[in-house]
Amino acid sequence: MKNEKELQDAQVLLDSIMNQLEKKPWAIPNLIDDPSKGDYAEVLSNLVYLLTNLSMDPVEAKYLMEETFKTRIRMGECLNRPVDFRVALLDLILQKKEFIKNPKVIEIKLYLEQEKKAMIDYLTGLYNKRYYEETMDREINQAKRYSRSFSIILFDIDNFKLVNDTFGHSLGDEVLKILATILKKNVRKEDTLCRAGGEEFVIILPDTASEGARKVAEKIREAFHEETLNDSKLSLSGGIATYPNDGNNKSELFECADKAMYFSKFSGKNKITVFGEEIRNARA
């Protein structure tokens, strides 16, 4: 599944293609090798996903779109009228049965709404665990490709079971919403917020070292600790892990952040811990 930004970029590209073809119905859009667009094959891969729900590597997607526009011209010449390039795209992918066997036509706006619902936690409005998993795959691939680092912060609300048992699940849900609101106010646009499950939340921070992640986490911890429930202050514990120092895959990184978070719990709660030698030695 593509993330929201990738699908938005693909929609922009689709609009551009449709505008060009409206002005010049028999033309081949001059978008494929536009040097000003950066990694344009990646955007074409997102466009193929938007139109077909098929995941293709950038090179394969670029070739498919080039062939699509050529096929569109040939189909138009046979019919003696312009043909929508999406019709040509469908014809090409149907020729390869491993791609799509029984296609279904759906309005893109409706499709995007359905995609978003599948990625969102209904209670907090944050992304869900499924989206976290897929985003981590992309983030690790990008970090490897461009030799970058990134960090994740794992939060867990302290004594949350006691909150539910004492005040009920409805009030517990309100506490989750309070934390979600605080998280939204304290991250950058490029960061990814997810509810990992229950009272656990995770933030993915691209191009951020552990110290930068710690500052973000402390700011969130302090803001949440200002909130009260029945005259008692709320608190959370957090753990931070950084790629590639603490792990080379999403499982290792989550495990390290989880270990650091539990170190915070066992150290008195209401604390942020960066995964490091102290915790490594404690695991041994």
Catalytic, out of 6, 115, 139, 199? 199
Catalytic residue status for 77? no
Partnered with residue 272 across adjacent β-strands are 238
How far apart are alpha carbons 101 and 123 in whole angstroms?
A: 36
Amino acid at 117: K
Catalytic residues: 199
